[in-house]
Chain A
Amino acid sequence: MSKRILHHPEVPAGETTVAWRSQGQLEDTAEFRSWLDREFPRGAAEMANEEEMETSRRSFLKLMGASTALAGFGMAACRRPESYIVPYTKAPEWVIPGNATYYASSMPRAGGATPLVVTSFEGRPTKLTVNNLHPDAEGTDAFAQASILDLYSPSRSRTILKGAKSAKRGDLDAAIAAVAADPAAKVGFLFGADDSPTRARLVTQLASKFSAAKFYQYEALTGEAAAALGDGVKLVADFALADRILSLDSDFAGSDSAGPITPFFDRRKPEGKAYDAKPDASKMNRLYAIEAGFSLTGGMADHRLRIPTSQIVGIAAQIARMITGDVALTAAGEVVTDPKHLSWIQGVVDDLKAHAGRSVVLAGSRQPAAIHHLALAINLALGNIGEGKPLVALQTETTGLGSLATLKTDIDAGTIDTLFLLGPANPVYDAPADLKFGESLAKLKASFHLGTRTDATAHAATWHIPAAHYLESWSDTRSARGIYTVVQPMILPLYPNCVSELELLLALLSEDGKLLNGEGEKGEASPAYTAVRATFTALGGEGDTAWKTLLRDGFLKDTAYPTATVSVAASAWSDVGAAKREAPTANTLEVIFATDASVYDGRWIDNGWLQEAPDPISKLTWDNAALIAPKTAKELGIYDQIIALQPVENVLGVEMETGPRSPDGEADGRKSPMILVKVNGQELEIPVLISFGQAENTIVIPLGYGQGFNAEDELGRGEFNASHVSLVGVNSGFNAYPLRTSQSPYFASGATATPTGKRYSVALTQEHNAMYGRALAREVSTAHDDEKGSFAEQIGNVKKQGNDSHAPPNVSLYKQENREGKSLLSDPLHQWAMSIDLSSCTGCNSCLVACQAENNIPIVGKKQVAMGREMHWIRMDRYFATQKDNDFDSDNPVLVPQPVSCVQCESAPCETVCPVNATVHTEDGLNAMAYNRCIGTRYCANNCPYKARRFNFFDYNKRNPLIEHNLYKGPFGEKQVGDAPHLQRNPNVTVRMRGVMEKCTYCVQRLKGAVIRQKRGQKQEALVAGKPSTEFRVTESTLRIPVDSVKVACQDACSAGAISFGNLLDGEKSTMYRTKQLERNYDLLNYIGTRPRTSYLARVKNPNPAMPDAKFIGKATIHMV
Chain B
Amino acid sequence: MANFFPRWSNLLPLQIAVCLGTAVGGIALAFAYYATPKAQVVGYQPAQPIPFSHKIHVDQLGLDCRYCHSFAEVSGHSNVPSGNTCWNCHQHVQRDSPKLAPLHKSMDVNYPGYDGKPIEWVRVHKAPDYVYFNHSAHLARGISCQSCHGDVNKMEVVYQAESHSMGWCLDCHNAPEKHLRPLEEVYNFKYDAEKYLAANPTYQDGKRLKTQEEFGLLIKDMFHVHPKTSCSTCHH
Contacts and interface: CB of A to CB of B under 8 A. Distances in A.
Interface string B26-60: 00000000000000110010100000000000000
A762 B225 CA distance: 55
A89 B76 contact: no
Interface residues of B, number: 55
Interface in B217-233: 218-219, 222-224, 226, 228, 230-233
Contact of A86 (B46, B75, B121): B121
Contacts of B142: 1029
A82 B230 CA distance: 31
A282 interface: no
Contacts of A85: 80, 120-123
Contacts of B140: 1012, 1015-1016, 1018-1019
Nearest to A1039: B224
Interface string A80-97: 101111111111000011
Contacts of A923: 228, 230
B182 A931 contact: no
A311 B186 CA distance: 76
B134 interface: yes
Contact of B236 (A1004, A1018, A1030): A1004
A860 B202 CA distance: 61
B230 A920 contact: yes
A922 B235 CA distance: 12
A97 B77 CA distance: 7
Contacts of A80: 40-41, 44
Interface residues of B, dominant DSSP: loop
Interface in B67-109: 71, 73-77, 79-85, 106-107
Nearest to A1001: B236
A917 to B, nearest CB: 8
Interface in A1006-1024: 1008, 1012, 1015-1016, 1018-1019, 1022
A99 B130 contact: no
B222 A1034 contact: yes
B189 to A, nearest CB: 18
B119 interface: yes
B130 A1012 contact: no
Interface string A909-949: 00000000010111100101111110000000000000000
B41 to A, nearest CB: 7
A406 interface: no
Contact of B71 (A96, A928, A1018): A96
A1028 interface: yes
B211 interface: no
A49 B45 CA distance: 49
A474 B122 CA distance: 38
Contact of A922 (B40, B116, B233): B233
B195 interface: no
B202 A1030 contact: yes
Given A87-B119, A990-B236, A921 B230 contact: yes
Contacts of A1022: 183
B178 interface: no
Interface residues of A, number: 48
A922 B232 contact: yes
B141 interface: yes
Contacts of A90: 82-84
B205 interface: no
Contacts of B218: 1030
Contact of B82 (A84, A87, A1016): A87
Contact of A88 (B118, B129, B182): B118
Contacts of A87: 79-83, 118-119, 121
B117 interface: yes
B191 interface: no
A1045 B82 CA distance: 33
Contact of B231 (A82, A920, A1019): A920
A759 to B, nearest CB: 44
A1015 B219 CA distance: 15
Nearest to A918: B231
A89 B82 contact: yes
B6 interface: no
A85 B82 CA distance: 10
Given A922-B231, A928-B231, A1012-B134, A88 B82 contact: yes
B128 interface: yes
Contacts of B117: 89
Contacts of A1004: 232, 236
A82 B136 contact: no
Residue with the greatest number of chain A CB neighbours at <10 A, chosen from B116, B230, B233 = B230
Nearest to A1016: B140
A1012 B138 CA distance: 9
A94 to B, nearest CB: 11
B183 A84 contact: no
Contacts of A16: none
B82 A931 contact: no
A98 interface: yes
B168 interface: no
Interface string A1016-1050: 10110010000011100110000100000000000
Residue with the greatest number of chain A CB neighbours at <10 A, chosen from B44, B83, B107 = B83
Contacts of B223: 1018, 1029, 1034
A1030 B222 contact: yes
A693 B157 CA distance: 73
B233 A89 contact: no
A1060 to B, nearest CB: 22
Given A87-B83, A90-B84, A930-B235, A1029 B183 contact: yes
A927 to B, nearest CB: 9
Interface string B118-157: 1111110010111010101100111000000000000000
Contacts of A99: 71, 74-76
A84 B236 CA distance: 24
Contacts of A918: 231
A988 interface: yes
Nearest to B196: A1030
B89 to A, nearest CB: 15
Contacts of A921: 230
B84 A91 contact: yes
A1012 B135 CA distance: 10
Interface string A818-835: 000000000100000000
A1005 interface: yes
Nearest to B121: A85
Given A922-B233, A1030-B202, A1030-B219, A1019 B183 contact: yes
Nearest to B231: A930
A930 B129 CA distance: 13
A989 interface: yes
A370 to B, nearest CB: 55
B236 A82 contact: no
A91 B81 CA distance: 9
A1029 B188 CA distance: 15
A1034 B220 CA distance: 11
Contacts of B231: 918, 920, 922, 928-930, 933
24 contacts: A82-B122, A82-B123, A84-B120, A84-B122, A84-B123, A86-B120, A87-B79, A87-B118, A88-B83, A89-B106, A89-B107, A90-B82, A96-B71, A98-B71, A98-B76, A98-B77, A920-B231, A928-B230, A990-B235, A1005-B236, A1008-B132, A1008-B236, A1029-B184, A1029-B223
Interface of A: 80, 82-91, 96-99, 827, 918, 920-923, 926, 928-933, 988-991, 1001, 1004-1005, 1008, 1012, 1015-1016, 1018-1019, 1022, 1028-1030, 1033-1034, 1039
Given A921-B230, A930-B235, 15 more contacts: A82-B123, A85-B120, A87-B80, A87-B118, A96-B79, A99-B71, A922-B228, A923-B230, A926-B232, A1008-B236, A1012-B137, A1015-B141, A1016-B74, A1030-B182, A1033-B222
Nearest first, the 10 closest Cβ-Cβ pairs linking A and B are A98-B77, A928-B232, A1029-B183, A89-B83, A930-B231, A922-B230, A91-B82, A98-B75, A88-B82, A84-B120
